[in-house]
Amino acid sequence: MTDHSPRPAFSAVIVAGGSGTRAGLGVPKQYAPWKGKPVLAHSLDAFAKAGAQELVVVVPDPSDLTAQDIARPFPTAKLVRGGETRRLSVKAGLEALSGGPDQPVLIHDAARPGLSGEVIDRLLDAIGPARGAIPVLPVVDSLAVAGDGLMTGTAVREELRRVQTPQAFRLGEILAAHRAWNGQSEAGDDAQVARAHGMQVALVEGDEGLAKLTFAEDFAVTTAFPRIGTGFDVHRLAEGEELWLGGLKIEHDRGLAGHSDADVALHAITDAILGAAAAGDIGQHFSPKDERWRGASSDRFLRHAQSLAAERGYVVGNVDLTIICEEPKIGPHREKMQQRIAQILEVDPVQVSVKATTTEGLGMTGRREGIAAQAAVTLFPEG
């Protein structure tokens, strides 16, 4: 709002019900990473910051754990199952709102994550005098009418606009418009449904940052830069256990206790890779309550983390590992650990650094009760 007055109370429906197959990302594009977080999270964050009283997110399956994880930080968000078309998904979202008929509602496509507060303000201002409002941008290119691969005419670009979302309406009217829709073809957007119901739709200035993510190259911004992750792990030393460290079995009077082989070094690297790839942590993928992983070799965890990073388009650039202990001495094993870790990750040993330090007799590691490890990993875009 240009005068910085408080925004009126409003609700929002975010449409995230598509499969996003054209992007070729292996996951629905609304869940894919973009500028550091899932595409859907950007719209949720924008509406939450703008003060939306109620957020309805229309998704393919409300029980999907990915959708639930993305929505969890937003207390006002509610997941709703979508329909077979975008229009039916919007209708499902509108039906789930609890506001009154005069409540402003903004309907937004999750595939447009660059939503700004300024666009929200312009829309809310416009639906005072008008019954609906949509953000638009001018057409800057010349336009041709095509037929059978030939130019058959031209269009007057000054009379045309590029339409974006969110689109703003009063809840009662836009819900009635969707309920009354009987078009023989599906509506391209909610403004089309509104106009078919006799509603006037105002045009407000859009934003180039609201571009729609459609193809894999639209996500290139997420893979244009390296990503860095850190990991930390600690296990206690216990008699009767084997000591696995850095992928090596080391002769020692005690070993590390844990559900798997308790290799703190590989666990720290695994968590660092998962962190850099925004793929959770080792406990999510290999729960200590799962009997499948009892005594498991930790190289399996590390390879799995690397495969998840690869699915997201990343390769390991370098690994910097620090082992923290009073015993055993790491120096005699450093080179073999470096080679073993490089072998597991299928990288050159020069990409792996193994260091060791003590805590000068302080704390758990200083009292020789356990061993800790911390790691930093850099992932680079593949190719």
pLDDT in tens, 268-283: 999 999 999 998 888 8
Res. 23 pLDDT band, cuts 50 70 90: low
Tokens, residue 244? 């696995």
To which H or E segment does residue 337 belong? helix 334-345
- What confidence category does residue 233 fall into, taking pLDDT thresholds of 50, 70 and 90? very high
pLDDT tier at 285 (50, 70, 90 boundaries)? confident
Kind plus residue range of the DSSP H or E element containing 366 = helix 363-366
Q: What gap in Å lies between CA 286 and CA 288, rounded to an integer?
A: 6
Instruction: Output the domain CATH number for residue 184.
Output: 3.90.550.10
Side chain identity at residue 242, one-letter code:
E
Same domain flag for 159 and 115: yes
* Residue 2 maps to a domain: no
| Residue-level pLDDT at 2 | 43
pLDDT at 77: 96
Structure tokens at 338: 């470096």
**Per-residue pLDDT reduced to its tens digit, 235-265:** 999 999 999 999 999 999 998 988 889 999 9
d(CA 181, CA 275): 47
Tokens standing for residue 84? 């077979």
Residue 378 has pLDDT above 50, yes or no: yes
CB 106 within 8 A of CB 164: no
Residue located via tokens 């001018």: 138
DSSP state of 138: E
Q: Is residue 303 part of a domain?
A: yes
- Are 217 and 70 within one domain? yes
Q: How far is CA 303 from CA 2, 154, 345, in A?
A: 53, 56, 7
132: pLDDT strictly greater than 60: yes
DSSP state of 176: H
32 in the same domain as 126: yes
Q: Which residues span the domain enclosing 45?
A: 11-221
Verify that 191 and 245 share a domain, yes or no: no
85 three-class SS: coil
First to last CA, the chain: 45
Residue 159 CB partners (closer than 8 Å, separation 6+): none
Pick the last residue of a domain from 172, 189, 221.
221
Per-residue DSSP letter, 14: E
Q: What's the pLDDT score for residue 219? A: 74
The domain boundary, picked from 221, 252, 287, lies at 221
Q: Are residues 29 and 171 in the same domain?
A: yes
Query: Is the four-CA dihedral 298, 300, 302, 304 of positive or negative sign?
Result: negative
Return all residues near 186 (Cβ < 8 A) that are at least 6 apart.
Answer: 85, 86, 87
Task: Count how many domains the chain has.
Answer: 2
The verdict on 28 and 78 lying in the same domain is yes
Q: Check if the beta carbon of residue 170 is closer than 8 Å to that of residue 81.
A: no
The answer on pLDDT for 24 being more than 70 is: no
Q: Per-residue pLDDT tens for 307-354?
A: 988 888 889 999 999 999 999 999 999 999 999 999 999 999 999 999
Q: Quick one: 29 and 158 in the same domain? A: yes
In this structure, are 77 and 192 located in the same domain? yes
Q: Are residues 71 and 193 in the same domain?
A: yes
Note whether 147 and 272 are same-domain residues. no
Q: CATH number of the domain at 333, please.
A: 3.30.1330.50
Q: What is the dihedral of CA 21, 273, 62, 183, to 10 degrees?
A: -20
Residue 322: count of CB within 10 angstroms of its CB: 18
Rounded to two decimals, what is the model's pTM? Answer: 0.60
Residue type, 63: S
Q: Are 190 and 245 members of one domain?
A: no
Q: Which of 130, 200, 198, 205 is nearest to 164 (CA)?
A: 205
Residue at 283 is within a domain = yes
